Amino acid sequence: MFKSVAHIGLTVKNLDASVAFYRDVLGLKYLGEMFMDGPETEKLFDKSGCCARVAYLKAHGSESVPPVELIEFTSPQAYKDVPSLFKTSISELCFESDDIDKEYKRLSGMGVKFISEPQDFDSTKYGFGKSRAVYFYDPDGNILELIQSQDDIEVIKAQKYELAVCELKDRTEGETDLNANLANAAAILKKYMQDINWVGFYLFKENQLVLGPFQGLAAVVRIELGNGVCGTAFEKNQIMNVPDVHGFPGHIACDLSSRSEIVLPINVNGRTAAVLDIDSPLLSRFTYTDEKYLSEIVNIIQDIWA
Ligand code: SME
């Protein structure tokens, strides 16, 4: 019976360049290098005169994670293949991350080529839970994958919201200036929420919604009641969680990179007084966790406002 996965081997053209990528760009721990030659090597690879440089690297995870083995055949030299997911071979080497979006941004910024943006998958009906995944390439074009359990994302989100709630309570305690409190609320949400490009308030004034304190690009100042996501949330007095703003008729675009949006009404003394509006450049950014914790944030704002 097989005991474990001992290592995952990748054939590379230039070992030094690949070690630099896996160690310095991806952040794996370098375990060392060895040289393989002689009759056993020739027999093992069924190639006369065969010799290879072999390096091992390991993710900084649990001890059960198998190392990555990088092989550079110094003789005969490997030919360059075009790796593809759509041919029979080992399809990819998949790494796990606690923050796939941060890693995606970091690696993209370093010039790493990705096949797509991170995508969400719900495999709960098959017993595998939710995940977020993306494919990318190493310097030889070998296909790598990065995956994050979506359940982790929601747990991390919730932990950050707990901190946001504490900080908002601290900052607003004893302070009665509404403008200052809303400005700090926007700044605190910007600090603790990931992948958002706009967060702020529209206040009900002169039968319109008028731009209040916010963080993000300059935005439309006045919104008619019933217009856009904000005006709709205000008029219906209900949370609007829009997974794709391009599919929302009448959406008012303030920042062209926005792809999803959540708007929560703020009720003071029995009347809707404002909305909290948050935009994200990611599709379907806002989940039940966001609705739950943002409602808690709105409750704090309602209490200090009243
Ligand atoms: N998108 C909003 C307008 C405000 S900006 O997003 C800041 C809407 O459709 O109401």
Q: Taken in order 300, 282, 221, 190, is the CA torsion positive or negative?
A: positive
Could you tell me which residue, 289 or 190, shows the higher pLDDT? 190
**pLDDT tens across 267-302, in order?**
999 999 999 999 999 998 998 889 999 999 999 999
Contacts with 17 (C-beta within 8 Å, 6 or more apart), sequence order: 139
Residue among 94, 197, 193, 112 nearest 148 (CA): 94
Judge whether 297 lies within some domain.
yes
Residue 159 lies in a domain: no
Tell me if the bond preceding 76 is cis, omega within 30° of 0.
yes
Q: Decide which of 24, 57, 80 is a domain's last residue.
A: 80
pLDDT, the chain, mean: 93
CATH of the domain at 43: 3.10.180.10
What is the predicted pLDDT for the residue at 249? 92
Q: What is the model's pLDDT at position 26?
A: 95
Q: Does the pLDDT of residue 64 top 90, yes or no?
A: no
**Domain final position from 80, 99, 129:** 80
User: CA dihedral defined by 267, 272, 274, 280, rounded to 10 degrees?
Assistant: 80
Q: What percent of the chain has pLDDT over 90?
A: 82
Say which CATH number the domain at 261 has: 3.30.450.40
Residue 271 lies in a domain: yes
Domain extent at residue 229 = 174-305
User: Which residues lie with the beta carbon below 6 Å from any ligand 1 atom?
Assistant: 198, 219-220, 223, 228-231, 251-252, 254, 261, 277, 279
Identity of the highest mean pLDDT range in 48-52, 61-65, 89-93: 48-52
Mutation to probe ligand 1, out of 190, 204, 220, 285 (largest number of atoms < 8 A from CB): 220
Pocket test for ligand 1, best of 189, 197, 199, 277 (most atoms within 8 A of CB): 277
Per residue in 231-264, pLDDT (tens digit) is 999 999 999 999 999 999 999 998 999 999 999 9
Where is 104: in which H helix or E strand? helix 100-109
Tell me if residue 194 falls in helix, strand or coil. coil
CB atoms within 10 A of CB 267: 16
Q: Is the pLDDT of residue 157 over 80?
A: yes
- Is 104 within a domain? no
- Asked whether the beta carbons of 199 and 190 are under 8 A apart, the reply is yes
> What value does the mean pLDDT take over residues 75-100?
91
Query: Ligand 1 pocket test: which of 201, 210, 229 has the largest number of ligand atoms within 8 Å of its C-beta?
Result: 229
**Whole-number pLDDT of residue 3:** 83
- Whether 188 and 291 share a structural domain: yes
Position 124 pLDDT exceeds 90: no
Among 46-50, 131-135, 147-151, the least confident range: 147-151
238, 240, 216, 236: which is closest to 226 by C-alpha? 236
Residue 117 has pLDDT above 90, yes or no: yes
Protein residue with least CA distance to atom 5, ligand 1: 254
Give the whole-number percent of the chain exceeding pLDDT 70. 97
**Which helix (H) or strand (E) element contains residue 242?**
strand 240-242
Is residue 179 domain-shared with residue 73, that is, in the same domain?
A: no
Residue 143 lies in a domain: no
Whose structure tokens read 């896996």?
A: 22
Domain count across the chain = 2
Task: Give me 75's structure tokens.
Answer: 């003789």
For the CA of 253, the closest atom of ligand 1 is: 1
Mean pLDDT, residues 28-46 taken together:
95
Task: Please say whether the dihedral angle defined by the alpha carbons of residues 113, 8, 122 and 240, taken in this order, is positive or negative.
Answer: negative
